[in-house]
Amino acid sequence: MQQILGYVRVSTREQNLGRPLAAMRKMGIEPQNIYMDKISGKDFVRPQKPLPQGFARLYQAWRRGELSLNQAARKINMPVSTFYNKCQQQKEREKRRK
């Protein structure tokens, strides 16, 4: 016999598990097979993706003024805001090394 599992998550204090749990039970999912979280999705620990190859070179070119932020981000196929945030992180790392 196949066991059906359920997962319920609420992300704010104002939300409660009552309605989602009732819906799971109505679908025939046993209470012991329902997993629950009361946590915001933004707080989940996610692994950092490695920077794409060539980031360091583009970062340096951007710092020297050889490329605009848009040009550098486009060359590495990264959203401008993400590229900028990664540049700020790189700048902080460089500061700490000094």
Rounded to an integer, what distance in angstroms lies between the CA atom of residue 9 and that of residue 4?
A: 17
Considering the candidates 11, 40, 68, 81, report the single residue annotated as catalytic: 11
What are the boundaries of each domain within the chain? 6-41, 55-97
Beta strands (DSSP E) in 44-90 are none
Is the Cβ–Cβ distance between 29 and 20 less than 8 Å? no
What is the percent of the chain where pLDDT is above 90? Answer: 30
Beta strands (DSSP E) in 11-71 are 34-38
Cα distances from 41 to residues 12, 58, 82, in angstroms, run: 10, 32, 19
- Give the pLDDT score at 43: 56
Residue 68 designated active-site = no
Give the three-class secondary structure for 9. strand
Q: What is the pLDDT of residues 14-48, one digit of tens each?
A: 788 888 889 999 999 988 888 888 776 665 566 67
Q: How confident is the model at residue 12 (pLDDT cuts 50, 70, 90)?
A: confident
pTM comes to 0.51
